[in-house]
Amino acid sequence: MKDETSALAETRSRDTLGAIGCSKVVAGMWRVREWNMSAAALNRYVQESMALGVTTFDHADIYGGGEVEALFGDALAQTPSLRGKMQIVSKAGIRPRGSSAGAVGVKHYDTSRVYLQAAVERSLQRLKTDYLDLFLIHRPDHLANNDEIADAAESLIQQGKIRAFGVSNFTPRQFDSLRAKIALATNQIEFSPFELQALDDDVFTALSAAAVSPMIWSALGGGRLFSETDELAVRLRQELTTLAEKYNAPSWISIAYAWIFTLPCAPYVLVGSRRVESLQQALDGLGVRLNREDWYAILEAARGKPVP
């Protein structure tokens, strides 16, 4: 019988995102406009991230109304040779008022063939690249036609505009319904000790069954884990700090990431920080393997009650 470590390693080898070269820690670019970096400074950030092993960069067409992709494209243009060594992810399908795709009166979702194909073209222009390594539907669309979505994605893949296709924020049923029409590389979802719905709704179970790796956003609760006045955050930090000492980890933050990396669905984690040190803390979490009791101790702290 295989021991638990071997079984976990085998599960992690079924790695859909690894197949296109994605790094386990992904640099989230959604706040780039707030960083107020010059193209040269952003270029340095990208190179420093890649030197750590963080080679995947996450975007969406609505981040900064398209400006985030444009800023990244300008930074990338300073060192074009970086493009072949990185993976660029972008998302589309949300049409807010005053979006880069043209003014709309009511915020809505659009996953029509015409819109998705045009969204990719716009992202490529802003990013100054010929292809996306991964293209995701940003949110489920109540008016979605899965056959149309699949045809659009297949066409984009055949044209070389995208290498892989996936979704973001889909429920297990929505994911399975679209996956019946086209291969999906990931489901980018929110998960943290503050947001446990993916456990309760069997999102991870469904992804494991499909041998698809999730990509986790807001892993630290959007910064809530650092709060000094939030009772839950304080309780969690106490548990994480205790475990950091036990595992000789560099920081309690690395234990927070280790808690996510321990999941058997082989997750990838987004880190949206201008500090490369924050990327390193997530990478350090990859080197910690929590035992079951300690993993459940964090879950108990998150829920504020014993596991039923």
Catalytic residues: 63
Task: Give dist(CA 185, CA 146) in Å, integer.
Answer: 16
Residue 209 tokens read as 């069954």
Task: Give dist(CA 294, CA 159) in Å, integer.
Answer: 48
Residue with structure tokens 């997530």? 282
Residue 275 tokens read as 């500090």
Smallest Cα–Cα separation from 165: which of 147, 148, 152, 180? 152
Dump strand ranges (E) for 157-238.
165-168, 187-190, 215-217
Task: Give dist(CA 102, CA 221) in Å, integer.
Answer: 32
By residue count, the chain amounts to: 308
Establish how many alpha carbons lie within 13 A of residue 99's alpha carbon, considering only the half-sphere containing its beta carbon. Answer: 22
Residue 147 tokens read as 């056959």
Smallest Cα–Cα separation from 45: which of 280, 277, 276? 276
Task: Give dist(CA 123, CA 170) in Å, integer.
Answer: 22
Residue 62 tokens read as 């609505």
Give kind and range of the element (H or E) at residue 45: helix 39-52
Regarding beta strands 56-58 and 87-92, do their DSSP bridges make them parallel or antiparallel, or are they unpaired?
parallel
Contact 213, 266 (CB under 8 A): yes
